[in-house]
Structures are given as C-alpha cells and as structure tokens.
Structure 1
Amino acid sequence: MNYFNVQKSNKSSYPTTFAYLISASKGDSGKLKRVLRALYHPGNYYLIHLDYGAPAAEHREVAKYVTRDPVFSQVGNVWIVEKPNLVTYRGPTMLATTLHAMAILLRTCKWDWFINLSASDYPLVTQDDLIHAFSDLPRNLNFIQHSSRLGWKLNKRAKPIIMDPGLYSRNKSELWWVIKQRTLPTAFKLYTGSAWTILSRSFAEYSIVGWDNLPRTLLLYYTNFVSSPEGYFQTLTCNSKDYTNTTVNHDLRYITWDTPPKQHPRSLGLKDYRGIVLSNRPFARKFKKNDRVLDKIDRQLLKRHHRHFTFGGWCSGSSGEMHNSCSALQSENYGVLRPGPGARRLKTLLTRILSERNFRRQQCR
C-alpha cells in the first residue's frame, strides 16, 4: 500500500468510524474521484483499489488526485493499494481484493465498520448523517443480506467449478469452466446474498485471522465458486456460532433490477430519485458517469457543491449553514457533527430492520 499521507490524524473524537474500500476498474477514474469526494470525511478511512488491468495513465491520474489534494494530505486518511490485483468479473479475485483491503485497514487504523463500494456507487446521506445514525448501534452488527434459499443458484453457482486465471496470471481473461460438477457441501450450509456489505471490525478480524478454521475452509471452497462475493461472507457468518446472531439481513443499498433480472442491476436515473429518497438507504448503485441524478443528489441530499466535499460539521463555517461551501478542513471543528434529514431517514430504516420483529426472525435460516 502506498502511504501518500504520512501525518495521519490521531484524533478519535467522532462517535463511530468507517473504513471504506472503493474499487474501480478501467475507465472508472472520473467516477472514482467524484464518489471519493462525496464520501470523504476526516473521521473515516479510505482505501482505493484500481484494478491492475487499468491503464498506467489512469493509475497515475488517481495517484496525483490523492497526493495533490490539500485536505487528503492534511488529514492523511486516503490511501491507494500500491500493488493492485487483477480482478476478474464473477471470479474469486473480487473476494481476494476485499479481504486484502480488510487486512490492510485492520493493520493501519482503528475503525468500527468496513464498507465496500465501487466507483459506480454513490452516497445518499452525508457522512455526518451516517456517523450519527450508527453511533448508538452495537458495534458487533454485520449488515449482510443473506438467504439459504439458493433457488436457481444451486445449479448455476454452487455446482459448477470454475478457475479464475486472475489468481495466477497478469493477463486478463475470462473464467475457465470445468466440465465436471460437484455435489453440495455437507460440512457447512450455503447462503447467498448481496456482495455489498457493512462488516464489523470484530467480524473482519475473524475473516482475516480466523481463530477457528472456518474462514480458511470456506475461502478454499469459494475459490472455485461463481460470484464468490455473493456467498462467502453470508456462509461464514451463518455457519459461525460467534457471529450467526450478529447478522442484519439488509445491505443498506438501493438497487433496482429489470424484470426478469439481468446480470447487472439497472443504472439509476432521474426517474428513480423519488424511490431513492423514500428507501431511506445510505447508498445506491449503480450510476453512469456524471448522470444528472447525481447532481440532484448532491444538491438536495448531500448539500454538496461542484468539486467540493459533502456538507459536514468538520468543514462548515461558524454559522453551520448548509449552503456554506465545504472545500477545506476547519481544524477547530474536528469532531463536530451536523446531521440533517438524511440521519432521520436512515434512523427510520435502522429502527425498522433492527426491531425485534425483523432482526431475529430474519437471521440465518
């Protein structure tokens, strides 16, 4: 990992802290820079992974963007993976990249939750909103959308055997499919769900260190599994006696699909804005580069001006007015939160999904 920013803040005056992995691939540099600016907060940590397959010019562009930003340099909480992985779509290299990022962030800094996002994602609440809404939650909760009803995935995901050349080759290629199929496991129960999660620090440590052998066993199994990020963490939590009761069956993302569903979710646009707001979710995906709905989200939900940061107490003037430009760190305001309507919307969602009626009944069945 490249430590561009060496003067990391040692302050811990925010009630909760998030560590982000933002993944990007070839052609994503523009989207990556925009989502990083929209997500940025001095109390959090940000690790960028730009796929090895992206052109060298894009890697240099992203590196310059991070190193030359005065706020990133002052706070020192934005990093880039120095030796990126070659990521194959639907292959275990996607999962390997996530585990790699978790290991780096566990060793580098203190945080409460790990969030994986792509350059095609976007926040729907300010980071002040997110920090405030999560501040009263138990720190062991894991937001992992999961189900043991695999349905069509039994034959299309669980039984096929694949090989990902990205594990051993620097040349980009498709997955290799083995003709022979395998039977379903009997040593553990399979679960499936969303690849987008919010994981507790404790569970992240378990996934990396693995004080029993389950994380390693499942990692070996999912090495030959199609779309392993949609099953690994689900199967791990639900088969672990220590974490099975920590799962919130929700990924906290707003995602829409065609009918019948295609391989990828629909790209969101202006016509989706009302649904985006009413969902009360903190993130949405996926968006095309500079779609007009992103401008509307910036104006109305994030109070973010063009090329500036999202509104927050850390960068606002003394008046705290939301129309103030957020372009630089006001060091005297470090630790100040100014949550807005987004915090209330998110708390409404969290209250519902964490209610006794929903929380226990939807865990690992």
Structure 2
Amino acid sequence: MFAYLILAHAHPQQLARLVRALRHPDAHFYIHLDAKTPEEPFREAVSGEDITYIGHREKVAWGAYSLVQATLNGFAEIIRSQRPYSYVHLLSGQDYPLVSHETMASFFEANPGKQYMEFYPVEGVWTEAIPRIRKYHFVNFDFPGKFMAERMVNAVMPARKMPDELTAVGRSQWFSITPEAIRYIQGYLGRHPEVVRFFRLTWGVDELIFQTLLYNSPFRDSLVNDNLRYIDWSEGKASPKTLTQADWPAMQASGKFFARKFTENDEVLDRIDQSKLHP
C-alpha cells in the first residue's frame, strides 16, 4: 500500500490529473496546499475517501524551512492514519507517474525496506551546497531588512558547523521512503531541537535535511542513491526543464517511476498514459 504526499500550490486540474493517474485501491493521497493558496478550487477538483488534505498548512517559501515543515506535517498525518503503508512517495503537483501502480508495487515488494533518495556528500562532491550550511540564511523569516541583517551576521560570525556531528548529504528533495524511516526522522527531530534550529537557518534545506538525517542513522545501509525520478537540469536554471513530447524517449528509457516537471495540459501526459496501457 502506498501513501502519496503531494506538495501543491497551483493548478488544481493538474493535481486532479496526477491523482487520477495514480489512483488505485492500495493508494491514498495526502495533499499539502500552500497556505497562500485558496483551498476550495482544489477540494472541488480532487476529492474522495482516498484523499486527505493536510489541516496544518504552511506558507511555503522557496528554499526555506517552511517547505520542510509542510513535508513534516504530511508525515504526521500519514503516521496518524495508522494505515499499513509500505512506502511513502513525496511528489509535487507538477509530477507525473511514468509506470503503472502494478509495476511500482512489484518493484518495492522485491526491494523491501530500501530508501530511495539522492544523497551526495556536500564536502567533496556537492560542493556548491557548502555555503548553504556554513552561512546563516534568514529565508525562513519575514522581517524588514532581513537580507541586510543576514549579510551583517555572516560578515562577523564564524562559519557554521553541522550539529550533532552530522555529515551533510543531499540533492533532490523528492524521494520514496518507508514509514519506519519517517518515524525515525520524526523522533530524531523531536529529540534534537538544536538540529531543527540549525536547519531553520539553512538555505535549500529541503534538499538536505531528510537525506542527512537518514545517512547518519541506522537506516544508512538501506539508502539507495536513486530517487526514481526523471528530472532534467540541462538548461542550467534554478528550476528543472519543463518536459514535453520531445523528452518522451529519454523518459521512457530512464527506468524511472516518476518525472517532473510538466505543464497542466501538455500532450506528453497523454503519451505517458498510453504507454502504461500498451507497454
């Protein structure tokens, strides 16, 4: 049984199509809507007994801890449900599945207990992320002059160090992990408020925190450095390439289970649906 935790902020009809593509008797959906987004259009577009809207909504800011908190709020709702999920898949509202439920279910049944996420060491490999953890970032806060204050603090304060002797790893924020891993993350953050404080002052923390916690835990041996997502960063922009029909051959050959990102009505989604009916 799968739980899909979907972080959405726009395009209710696109979210509805994503849910339809994933719907199955052994699947449930947990939807976090950015608190800045009106909820009613989404509830009108996406409803059913398999849908849970996260009640505690966050005002999400790009690169801020608020995105982590939105994910944690979803985790709490999933665990509180007490349903026997085998995996939790974190998705955005602009993602889409490349394969059928049956294909995914067979794969995860054959590979139980693995955690599928990207986890490249910051030191020595993903070096562009070093300033994220060594400098102070006020992106999660909202007060006049915060960026000037951020520059002043970084000018006088020494470089930050990871708390609790954690080794920082990460990359893509999207992953498929087990409820057991989620319970570990919840427990660890509850026991280590200093780690929460550190990550609240980290930019792009959504691409670091969950991988780092599991990499420095008893779950380390279960980590697989593959998040099972097709994402094209070839344009060199802050956001990945928007996928179209021209990208279908590469998506099909990738062996990935999900892809991102798409526009609301692109015909490539029809092509993907057809491929699942006639593999």
Deviation at 1:131, TM superposition (A): 1.1
SS at match of 1:117: strand
Pairing 1:23–2:1 present: no
Pairing 1:208–2:183 present: no
Pairing 1:237–2:210 present: no
- Whole-Å separation in 2 of the counterparts to 1:192 and 1:205: 19
SS at match of 2:226: coil
Pairing 1:84–2:57 present: yes
SS at match of 1:298: helix
Q: CA RMSD, aligned part only?
A: 2.3
The partner residue of 2:228 within 239, 242, 252 is 252
Pairing 1:132–2:102 present: no
CA offsets per residue over residues 159-212 of structure 1, 9 Å max, x none?
A: 23222456x89xxx9985711333333722111211001111111011112398
- Whole-Å separation in 1 of the counterparts to 2:205 and 2:5: 17
Which residue matches 1:47? 30
Pairing 1:269–2:244 present: yes
Decide whether the 8 Å contact of 2:189 with 2:196 is kept in 1: no
With over 3 angstroms needed to count, the CA separation of the structure-2 counterparts of 1:256 and 1:285, relative to structure 1, is same
With over 3 angstroms needed to count, the CA separation of the structure-2 counterparts of 1:281 and 1:89, relative to structure 1, is same
- Whole-Å separation in 1 of the counterparts to 2:31 and 2:14: 12
- Whole-Å separation in 2 of the counterparts to 1:274 and 1:135: 27
Consecutive unaligned residues of structure 1, counting only runs of 5 or more, are 1-16, 304-321, 323-340, 342-365
Identity, % of aligned positions: 25
SS at match of 2:111: coil
Decide whether the 8 Å contact of 1:18 with 1:45 is kept in 2: yes
Which residue matches 1:158? 133
SS at match of 1:114: strand
Deviation at 1:220, TM superposition (A): 2.4
Deviation at 1:110, TM superposition (A): 2.1
Pairing 1:107–2:98 present: no
With over 3 angstroms needed to count, the CA separation of the structure-2 counterparts of 1:191 and 1:103, relative to structure 1, is same
Decide whether the 8 Å contact of 1:115 with 1:197 is kept in 2: yes
Q: Which amino acid aligns with 2:58?
A: N
**What is the TM-score normalised by the length of structure 1?**
0.68
Aligned length: 268
Deviation at 1:223, TM superposition (A): 0.9
Decide whether the 8 Å contact of 1:120 with 1:288 is kept in 2: yes
- Whole-Å separation in 1 of the counterparts to 2:224 and 2:87: 13
Decide whether the 8 Å contact of 2:6 with 2:30 is kept in 1: yes
Which residue matches 2:90? 116
Which residue matches 2:17? 34
Consecutive unaligned residues of structure 2, counting only runs of 5 or more, are none
Decide whether the 8 Å contact of 1:253 with 1:285 is kept in 2: yes
With over 3 angstroms needed to count, the CA separation of the structure-2 counterparts of 1:175 and 1:239, relative to structure 1, is farther
- Whole-Å separation in 1 of the counterparts to 2:134 and 2:169: 14
- Whole-Å separation in 2 of the counterparts to 1:31 and 1:271: 20
Q: Which amino acid aligns with 1:281?
A: K
- Whole-Å separation in 1 of the counterparts to 2:204 and 2:222: 24
SS at match of 1:116: strand
SS at match of 1:163: coil
SS at match of 1:135: helix
With over 3 angstroms needed to count, the CA separation of the structure-2 counterparts of 1:153 and 1:210, relative to structure 1, is closer
Deviation at 1:64, TM superposition (A): 2.4
Deviation at 1:102, TM superposition (A): 0.6
Q: Which amino acid aligns with 2:177?
A: L
The 5 A counterparts of 1:64-75 are: 64-67=44-47, 72=48
Which structure: greater helix fraction? 2
SS at match of 2:137: strand
With over 3 angstroms needed to count, the CA separation of the structure-2 counterparts of 1:275 and 1:174, relative to structure 1, is farther
- Whole-Å separation in 2 of the counterparts to 1:63 and 1:205: 28
SS at match of 1:210: helix
- Whole-Å separation in 2 of the counterparts to 1:162 and 1:41: 42
With over 3 angstroms needed to count, the CA separation of the structure-2 counterparts of 1:286 and 1:191, relative to structure 1, is same
With over 3 angstroms needed to count, the CA separation of the structure-2 counterparts of 1:268 and 1:91, relative to structure 1, is same
CA offsets per residue over residues 35-87 of structure 1, 9 Å max, x none?
A: 11111112111111111111x3xx112212344xxxx3xxx221112342111
Decide whether the 8 Å contact of 1:219 with 1:232 is kept in 2: no
